[in-house]
A and B are shown apart, each in its own frame.
Chain A
């Protein structure tokens, strides 16, 4: 294959997958809207099972990531702010950057690695062992039965995890601020929350909601389109995680741009 041909094949497969992902997204949204009227909404147990897996069981790892990130930002910003004698602004630095940027993005990356990979591996092995086809033969739509519960679980639980990670990040910063920089604890808390505006939190939550959509839809799409046995499951899991990571950063950039230029 020559150079031009390989560019061409990359473009056509990217186009094909983009169309596939978008149509899966539309299908999922359609089931969410029409499902309750057709009495074909996924069972509550199915959704709560996914929420426990995606949300509650991800908490520990999100806790550690957010906690250490809070500590790191506090130390890094103290290193700079010390020069101006403005170490109290460490508090604002940590809280605002956690809420606007690091909370949503790092939580999404951790969840993409943990939950997105698990979704693709599970649906992928269901696909290669004919379980997806068996569902269809039983008149159970795989989108309604498998994708909708995972989609709902992630768009609800990822913002929840993000709020928790914001708080934990502030806690990590607090430890550095109070025990290392010797700042007054109540002043530190005041500074943290006076500088963190509602719009900082809300833009962060809009981001994490978008990331939830990305992780669940990419994870399910790659799983449902797995081909070629155990090797295929491995391949689509890798592609799923890598694609989610890239799209999370890409949409983070786009959304930050939108918020920046619209002064949010």
Chain B
């Protein structure tokens, strides 16, 4: 991969919630057009990192630059300008349930552009076609299945022709076939529209299908970053444990035995 300016550059990002250090010095560069996967176990800080990248949370320390702009110093209008160039697909799809599918997808277009309603209607049909849901414009989100809702969420994320699209757990709670469809969709969209995709997930099958590069997070740090093969063949015990899905290893889920007696008798 040739040296290019990264579209997302995270430097020494730190964040504390109360006494808990959630992010502890994250460094990540993401380049144009790649599918970058952030993986890690529950509570490792990957959702918090994602929320920083979309500007929903401000960092305690460190900097985040999106599309060449350092986002900490931006005022609301400048941040809105950046936000119009990014799309986000939520874990629970986050569709507005008072609006139809078509209205959900067209909302950013209606609010941010001066396009004619007819043009917007055509664009909505095109975006829904991208995710294979043309003809569903007039349904309400409550009438759709979980996988369909997520696809509508993706169509909405692409409504403004973004440069970067973020996916939060795109395959969580989906059956294996829909998962495969979703993975193919993410690859196709990112290749066809040459957008940069950032995917947060812990679904290993999906990771190795879609990722160009992978970052593994553990306890608020990036423990390893590399291509699919590099991660698969990594010697790092944390990465090995996560990839193989083994209960034993350096990542502990249970307290030590000596603690146990103390907690019981305390």
Contacts and interface: CB of A to CB of B under 8 A. Distances in A.
Interface of A: 43, 122, 126, 129-131, 133-134, 136-141, 145
Contacts of B94: 129-131, 133-134
A137 B86 contact: yes
Contacts of A137: 54-56, 83, 86, 88
A136 B81 CA distance: 12
Given A139-B80, A139-B84, A134 B108 contact: no
A134 B153 CA distance: 10
A51 B107 CA distance: 21
Interface of B: 54-56, 76, 79-81, 83-84, 86, 88, 90-92, 94-98, 107-108, 110-112, 160
B84 to A, nearest CB: 5
23 contacts: A43-B110, A129-B94, A130-B91, A130-B92, A130-B94, A131-B95, A133-B56, A134-B90, A134-B94, A136-B56, A136-B83, A137-B55, A137-B83, A137-B86, A137-B88, A138-B84, A138-B160, A139-B80, A139-B81, A139-B83, A139-B84, A140-B108, A140-B111
Which of A126, A134, A136 has its CB near the most chain B CB atoms (within 10 A)? A134
A129 B97 CA distance: 10
A141 B96 CA distance: 15
Nearest to A136: B56
State the 8 A-B residue pairs at the shortest beta-carbon distance, nearest first. Answer: A139-B83, A139-B80, A130-B94, A134-B94, A137-B88, A138-B108, A130-B90, A131-B94
Nearest to B82: A139
B56 A129 contact: no
A3 B260 CA distance: 34
Contacts of B98: 122
B251 to A, nearest CB: 28
Given A138-B108, A140-B111, A129 B54 contact: no
Nearest to A38: B77
A126 B83 CA distance: 20
A138 B107 contact: yes
Nearest to A49: B98
B149 to A, nearest CB: 11
A126 B93 CA distance: 12
Contacts of B55: 137
Which of A122, A129, A139, A145 has its CB near the most chain B CB atoms (within 10 A)? A139
Nearest to B83: A139
A94 B107 CA distance: 49
Contacts of B108: 138-140
Given A136-B56, A137-B54, A137-B56, A131 B96 contact: yes
